[in-house]
Amino acid sequence: MTGELRGTHMEIIPRSPNMPSGVHINPFRFGLGLIALLGIVVTLFALLFGFTSIPTNSIGVKTRFGAFASTVEPGLAYAIPYVEEIVIVPTQRLQKLEFGFATRNASNEFQGDRDPDDTETMITGDLNTALVPWVVQYRITDPRAYLFGAREPEKTLRDLSESVMREVIGDRTVDEVLTIGRHDIESSTLNRLIELMADYGLGLQIQQVQLATVRPPQVVQAAFNEVNQAQQEKQTSINQAWAVYNDAVPNARGQAKGREKQAEGYAFGRINQAKGDADKFGLLLAEYSKAPEVTRRRLYLEAMEAILPGLEKKVIVDESVNGILQTLPLDDRPAAAAAAAASPKQPAR
């Protein structure tokens, strides 16, 4: 076998110019494939990272290259990555700004006051000092104006609120600020802020302005407590006086009304009695005209019947007797008999 191989003649065939010398890549097709692959990757990336969930208490504002595009209702929304962006604005949530204090762990990053001591210190109209902390509650009503109307709407609202509150406090005395003027201060500040929100176009609606614990500075706290106690005692005395007044005056009015009714009743009775007497006299006159002697005697007897029972002592005089004893003491004998019956009998000697 070895000998056969050695004796074999090997012929070398020349290479044809049409045969490929290796793997050749078409640049055009490669570019198309690369673009298609890149498109697929971009599409997958956009599908995976382009969806955003908007809560029910919020509205989404879609921006395209930083400019306003549209608003999106709550639910699942889509934005093209790096081209569009959805900003979630909590339009249904009531938010607040605190002045003169700061609540820890607040959900709103703009809520707390960064310099509470300086904010709450205010000068009243009578040049006294009062510490006035307060809260402003607001709601976002126009998401587009909120995002594009001002660079920092919460900071603008904070500055406006502090300016208005200082103006309102400066128009009142320290007694009004610390005691009776609380409601008036809140109402005046609220109305002024509502006007300013309409002028500035921040997309915010002021819901409420509420004062916290308004107090004097610490150095005059004791004197203020004494004044406050005196005012409370004064108010207590006034309330007690009003209680006595409300008890006495209606009672006196009731008594006066009762006396008035009694007088009216008495007058009514007297008038009716007079009318009855007049009618009776008219009837007697008619009877007297018919029988004067009989009527005269009857009237005499009726008068005596009415008069005699009221007399304590009665004496009857008989004009027909000319002797010494012309009187008959009707009341003496029963009285003497009664006295004799009551006195004890003397024993015989």
Instruction: Give 209-242 pLDDT, tens digit per residue.
Output: 999 999 888 888 888 788 778 888 999 999 999 9
CATH of span 95-216: 3.30.479.30
Q: What pLDDT is stored for residue 25 in this prediction?
A: 65
Exposed e or buried b for every residue in 260-298, given b needs 16+ CB within 10 A?
Answer: eeeeeeeeeeeeeeeeeeeeeeeeeeeebeeeeeebeee
Q: 317 and 324 in contact (C-beta within 8 Å)?
A: no
Q: 151 and 131 in contact (C-beta within 8 Å)?
A: no
Q: What pLDDT is stored for residue 18 in this prediction?
A: 53
Q: What pLDDT is stored for residue 324 in this prediction?
A: 54
Closest CA to 166 of 119, 207, 206, 204: 119
Instruction: Give 274-300 pLDDT, tens digit per residue.
Output: 999 888 888 877 877 877 888 788 888
Q: What pLDDT is stored for residue 282 in this prediction?
A: 85
Q: What pLDDT is stored for residue 226 in this prediction?
A: 85
Question: Percent helix, strand, coil in the chain (nearest 5)?
Answer: 55, 15, 30
Instruction: Determine the length of the chain.
Output: 349
Kindly state the DSSP code that residue 66 receives in the 8-state scheme: T
Q: What pLDDT is stored for residue 325 in this prediction?
A: 56
CA dist., res. 84 & res. 147, Å (int)? 15
Instruction: Return the SS3 of 75.
Output: strand
Intervals of the chain under pLDDT 50 = 1-10, 13, 19, 346-349
Q: 189 and 168 in contact (C-beta within 8 Å)?
A: yes
Q: What pLDDT is stored for residue 222 in this prediction?
A: 83
**Adjacency order of strands within the sheet including 204-211:** 95-99, 134-140, 204-211
Q: What pLDDT is stored for residue 29 in this prediction?
A: 72
- What is the 3-class SS of 315-345, one letter each residue? EEECCCCCCCCCEEECCHHHHHHHHHHHCCC
Q: What pLDDT is stored for residue 190 in this prediction?
A: 96
Locate tokens 């007079």: which residue?
274
Rounded to 10 degrees, what is the CA torsion of 61, 67, 70, 76?
-50
Kindly state the DSSP code that residue 180 receives in the 8-state scheme: I
Report domain extents, the chain.
Answer: 30-89, 95-216, 240-306
Q: What pLDDT is stored for residue 157 in this prediction?
A: 94
Q: What pLDDT is stored for residue 191 in this prediction?
A: 95
